[in-house]
Structure 1
Amino acid sequence: MLSQIHSCSLLGIEGQIVTVEIDVLNGLPSYVLVGLPDTGVKESKERVYSALKNSGYSYPMKKITINLAPADLKKEGPAYDLPIALGLLMASEQLEPVDIESYVILGELSLSGEIKPINGILPMVLAARDHGFKKIMIPSANQYEAAVVEGIEILPVQSVAEAAAHLSGECCKAPCKVDIDALFKRSSTHNCETDFSEIRGQEHAKRAFEIAAAGAHNLLLSGPPGAGKSMMAKAFPSILPDMTVEEALEVTKIYSVAGLLRDAQVMTERPFRSPHHTISNISLIGGGRIPKPGEVSLAHLGVLFLDELPEFKKSALEVLRQPIEDQQVTISRVNASLTYPASFMMIASMNPCPCGYYGDPTHECRCSTSEIHRYAGKISGPLLDRIDIKIEVPAMDFDALETAPKGESSADIKVRVNAARAVQNRRYGEEKGLYFNAQLSPRHIEKYCELGMPEKQLMEKIYKKMNLSARGYHRILKLARTIADLEGAVEIKAAHLSEAVQYRSFSPEG
């Protein structure tokens, strides 16, 4: 007898509907599984056999053929265990389901028949809803992650027996529901150990962080050891703008695929990733035999903090150039080409030289001129050109440290950042995938960063004097747009352009 059950696969961070076809015929016992299964899918035979026997069902000792369609899509992981088990019960006439065509079914089986959680449940649920399915049966451990999706019934089950009883109508499960709005009503302050009010002085650097947070701009800090670069970077999450529901779901999909959600239902706070400088290219960008998201994708719509930037391998830094510009990463393998989103803020810090004290009035620099240039030369010109804000963070003397007044709290700064980001959300509401100023393309810049005649004349002078590239010119306009948004200005004025230029006039090479 032939049975069919709908399931789902992952292609990058997008779900793909898979039809599990099972044919049980009389003949010598055999088991054939086709449809490009990987080792994890092939091993389902042993898990399903034990799960059915230990749940009180009989395993059909006949000629079994299982096809996972479409046959040209690589199938990975144990998510097909439950649909295969239920399909075998249907094909061997041990289960007569009601309305099986409206279901998508997912789950990994233990040998006892219990259903274990799987990774990537959120994009699979979104795919099922978008393909018109009304119900999805998933492991109970994944129910709260899946229930943030509206428009489809989430039916959590704990065992094969429970799933079969629900499908046959013997014991109907109530769908799981969550109030997604309530998830965003928690404290709007990031769980951050450092507050900006604890940082004395460095007001110009704090202003740069505020602008970076408001427009999602890349930022490079250069200064001697102990000046406060890392401390301000670690306080940065406390002023990041609140995420919208759409942004939260986009980030949650990535963490769901990577298996990093832990007990969270949805990512309500922007990610902050801080990899060590020994990180490999693949771990930074993504990839592997089975491609997985890298740090740049895990930092999507959040922050990638690279402390001691010149200490990273030059090859690792160079591979950042493409995702910074394109805001996505494409990983090509034999079976597929996967694209992961990578629209992140890069916050980087560095010393001015190997010893750290070049230009410091209170410490003697021990580095030669060639060592200083070689150290700064580890960061290429094309990468520097992609950083919107570059500032020096000098060391503070004792008097300045003791007499500097307590600064603004992170909560006060965040109010302005949220207001500026709200302006951008309204402005780009009809632009798909466009959330903040740093994402503006040349076409968008022409539309949203229009200058008056005095401002055009000023930019012409700046362009010639600073010998800007076209990219550098566009980044100044995007930065000026953010400064104007922070002030609540509709049009970009000369003062906004002048401040934006100051943040690009510094070069680590001196």
Structure 2
Amino acid sequence: MQLRCSLYSATIVGVRAIPVAVEVVVSNGLPGFSIVGMPDAAVRESTERVRAAIKACGFTMPGDKVVVNLAPSSIRKAGSGFDLPIAAAILAATKQIDVEALGECLLVGELGLDGSVRPVHGTLAFAACARELGCKLLVSADARDGAPLGRMEQLALPSLASLRSMAVRPLDFCAPSASVEAPDFGDIRGQAAAKRAMQVAAAGGHGILLMGPPGSGKTMLARALPSILPPLSEDERLEAAIVHSVAGEPIDSILAGTRPFRRVHHSATVAGLVGGGTPVHPGEISLAHAGVLFLDELPEFSSRSLQALRQPMEMGRIVITRADGSVALPARFSLVAAANPCPCGYYGDPQKQCTCPQWKIERYQGNIGGPLLDRIDMHVDVWRCDPGEMLDRADGRDPIDSERLLAGVLAAREFRSWRRAALGDGDAVDVGALLARCRMAQRTRDLLETVSRTQLLSGRGITRALMVARTIADIAESKSVAEEHLMEALSFKLRKGV
């Protein structure tokens, strides 16, 4: 005689929850409890947690042979979230609980030895999976990384014993709340050119490299960037929140519309930066999805880490390949990097002499690599502010503040939306499509060609310059890219400082 039951669960692959059927068979034979279907160590250990939890809640653990199959078996199952569906399937198969109430649910949760249901990372990803299946989601009552998804039911289960009477309640969601406010650009005195560059970067989502001597304000400028970023759209909120949910990071500020701002230390490994591990875990570039990735002291990063950024900067995602397959992680971010021009920091400084030998300067700057530099849209030299300019302001604030810059960013994005709807402009980034969107006069085209030849701009460099020029024209609310827009874009691409 065999007793069977099958329930829905899911496993995280990258940042997506993949549905898994938890099939249980209780049959005559030597007593045993085995799990098949490519489980990892955490899943195999669930046998002891499930036994203890079932007994602690007053249920009876079958004394016969129990086999659990996690299908499809071609996908490796990871994590402790299979405890709850395995225990529920055993209880349903042995008629100790009503299986009809669970047939429409996707169950995820870790069990304590006392039968309590504990949360696991990725509640929002599991909710998205349940919505695709047309199921309800049943998770721990302590889950704090969930969010409403339309009218889909998300239920909270405090303990395994609650399955007797299906004493569940709606899941409580964390209230969206904005994170700590970023510094205001008004607190940064001077630096008008750098602030303009940050406005253009925020308006178009461009990458930017700030280079200059120590104390010039590079880090402060980067930290102030979130204060002029537009809020996340609904789709962006969901995408970014799922990544943070899977990684075990708070999602309340993202649900409030605040764009992620990830500041990474230069000691970060390749896996920590782009993702990796077993199972594959999202890295900092995925946590910065739809937001900003800030790399301070850029030349101090390992060359392998920096070159690993090239693919996601082009594609907006990172593909990590393992022996059992490839995993794609979202990574559409704006790169903001800061760097000193040399190890001592004063190469090119008109006021303080550099003490570094030439070979050390070349090696230091060469660590960034030409291919990565070519993918950064804007290169800006940042110099120390004049002391008189800093001390002359009695109120301590600069007139070019975040409110003023944000108004330009929002106006540019609104104009871009109108341009796409009214003029039929698309999102293609090839040169032909960009030229069509720029609507440049012949004289402006000739200027671009001349500069590209004399400065040896690559095809990518020309494309990046056109993208920045189109953003500058959007800030000016101009349908076409004029000569002054193009010249400003080229000035950001062609550095003439250190």
Q: Same fold (TM over 0.5)?
A: yes
Deviates more, 1:392-401 or 1:39-48: 392-401
> What residue in structure 1 maps to residue 402 of structure 2?
410
Q: TM-score, normalised by structure 2?
A: 0.92
What is the alpha-carbon distance in structure 2 between the residues aligned to residue 243 and residue 418 of structure 1? Answer: 12
Q: Letter of the aligned partner of 2:462 in structure 1?
A: Y
2:149 matched to 1:149? Answer: yes
> What residue in structure 1 maps to residue 269 of structure 2?
280
| 1:93 maps to which of 92, 95, 105 | 95
What is the alpha-carbon distance in structure 2 between the residues aligned to residue 15 and residue 428 of structure 1? Answer: 34
What is the alpha-carbon distance in structure 2 between the residues aligned to residue 254 and residue 385 of structure 1? Answer: 28
> What residue in structure 2 maps to residue 325 of structure 1?
314
Measure how far apart 1:443 and its partner are: 6.9
Measure how far apart 1:331 and its partner are: 0.9
Superposition pairs of residues 181-196 of structure 1, within 5 angstroms: 183=176, 191-196=180-185
> What residue in structure 2 maps to residue 60 of structure 1?
62
SS at match of 1:100: coil
| 2:32 maps to which of 23, 30, 33 | 30
Measure how far apart 1:29 and its partner are: 1.1
| 2:244 maps to which of 229, 251, 255 | 255
Q: Letter of the aligned partner of 2:300 in structure 1?
A: E
Superposition pairs of residues 85-484 of structure 1, within 5 angstroms: 85-133=87-135, 135-142=136-143, 145-166=145-166, 171=167, 173-176=168-171, 183=176, 191-261=180-250, 266=255, 268-403=257-392, 406-425=398-417, 440=429, 445=434, 448-484=437-473
Q: Conserved in 2, the CA contact under 8 Å of 1:199 and 1:407?
A: no
What is the alpha-carbon distance in structure 1 between the residues aligned to residue 404 and residue 281 of structure 2? Answer: 38
Q: Letter of the aligned partner of 2:37 in structure 1?
A: G
When residues 307 and 264 of structure 1 are mapped into structure 2, their CA distance, relative to the original with a 3 A threshold, is: closer
When residues 147 and 255 of structure 1 are mapped into structure 2, their CA distance, relative to the original with a 3 A threshold, is: closer
Gaps of 5+ in 1: none
When residues 29 and 98 of structure 1 are mapped into structure 2, their CA distance, relative to the original with a 3 A threshold, is: same
Measure how far apart 1:425 and its partner are: 5.0
Q: Conserved in 2, the CA contact under 8 Å of 1:7 and 1:83?
A: yes
Deviates more, 1:73-82 or 1:405-414: 405-414
Measure how far apart 1:23 and its partner are: 0.8
**Any idea what the Cα deviations from partners look like across 1:189-241, whole Å, max 9, x if unmatched?**
x6335211011111000000111111111111111111111111111121121
- Equivalenced residue count is 491
What is the alpha-carbon distance in structure 2 between the residues aligned to residue 213 and residue 483 of structure 1? Answer: 11
Q: Letter of the aligned partner of 1:271 in structure 2?
A: P
> What residue in structure 1 maps to residue 76 of structure 2?
74
When residues 161 and 233 of structure 1 are mapped into structure 2, their CA distance, relative to the original with a 3 A threshold, is: same
Q: Letter of the aligned partner of 1:328 in structure 2?
A: R
Q: Conserved in 1, the CA contact under 8 Å of 2:182 and 2:226?
A: no
Measure how far apart 1:406 and its partner are: 2.0
Measure how far apart 1:289 and its partner are: 2.8
What is the alpha-carbon distance in structure 2 between the residues aligned to residue 6 and residue 444 of structure 1? Answer: 46
Measure how far apart 1:286 and its partner are: 1.1
Q: Conserved in 1, the CA contact under 8 Å of 2:214 and 2:345?
A: yes
RMSD, aligned α-carbons: 2.5
When residues 306 and 136 of structure 1 are mapped into structure 2, their CA distance, relative to the original with a 3 A threshold, is: same
**Any idea what the Cα deviations from partners look like across 1:128-165, whole Å, max 9, x if unmatched?**
211222x11111122x6433211411111111122342
What is the alpha-carbon distance in structure 1 between the residues aligned to residue 147 and residue 343 of structure 2? Answer: 51
Q: Letter of the aligned partner of 2:8 in structure 1?
A: H
What is the alpha-carbon distance in structure 2 between the residues aligned to residue 314 and residue 3 of structure 1? Answer: 52
What is the alpha-carbon distance in structure 1 between the residues aligned to residue 27 and residue 229 of structure 2? Answer: 60
What is the alpha-carbon distance in structure 2 between the residues aligned to residue 302 and residue 351 of structure 1? Answer: 24
Measure how far apart 1:429 and its partner are: 8.2
Deviates more, 1:396-405 or 1:328-337: 396-405
What is the alpha-carbon distance in structure 2 between the residues aligned to residue 30 and residue 317 of structure 1? Answer: 51
**Any idea what the Cα deviations from partners look like across 1:72-95, whole Å, max 9, x if unmatched?**
111101111111111111111111
SS at match of 1:57: coil
Measure how far apart 1:454 and its partner are: 3.2
When residues 97 and 497 of structure 1 are mapped into structure 2, their CA distance, relative to the original with a 3 A threshold, is: same
Measure how far apart 1:264 and its partner are: 6.3
Q: Conserved in 2, the CA contact under 8 Å of 1:54 and 1:112?
A: yes
When residues 285 and 196 of structure 1 are mapped into structure 2, their CA distance, relative to the original with a 3 A threshold, is: same
SS at match of 2:493: coil
SS at match of 2:294: strand
2:489 matched to 1:500? Answer: yes
Q: Letter of the aligned partner of 2:170 in structure 1?
A: P
Deviates more, 1:452-461 or 1:83-92: 452-461
What is the alpha-carbon distance in structure 2 between the residues aligned to residue 263 and residue 310 of structure 1? Answer: 33
What is the alpha-carbon distance in structure 2 between the residues aligned to residue 159 and residue 423 of structure 1? Answer: 53
Q: Conserved in 2, the CA contact under 8 Å of 1:32 and 1:65?
A: yes
Measure how far apart 1:294 and its partner are: 1.1
Q: Conserved in 2, the CA contact under 8 Å of 1:201 and 1:407?
A: no
What is the alpha-carbon distance in structure 1 between the residues aligned to residue 252 and residue 185 of structure 2? Answer: 29
**Any idea what the Cα deviations from partners look like across 1:43-71, whole Å, max 9, x if unmatched?**
11111111111111111111111111111
**Any idea what the Cα deviations from partners look like across 1:281-336, whole Å, max 9, x if unmatched?**
11111112321111111111111111111111222212212221122111111222
Q: Conserved in 1, the CA contact under 8 Å of 2:121 and 2:145?
A: no
What is the alpha-carbon distance in structure 1 between the residues aligned to residue 431 and residue 104 of structure 2? Answer: 45
What is the alpha-carbon distance in structure 2 between the residues aligned to residue 194 and residue 481 of structure 1? Answer: 28
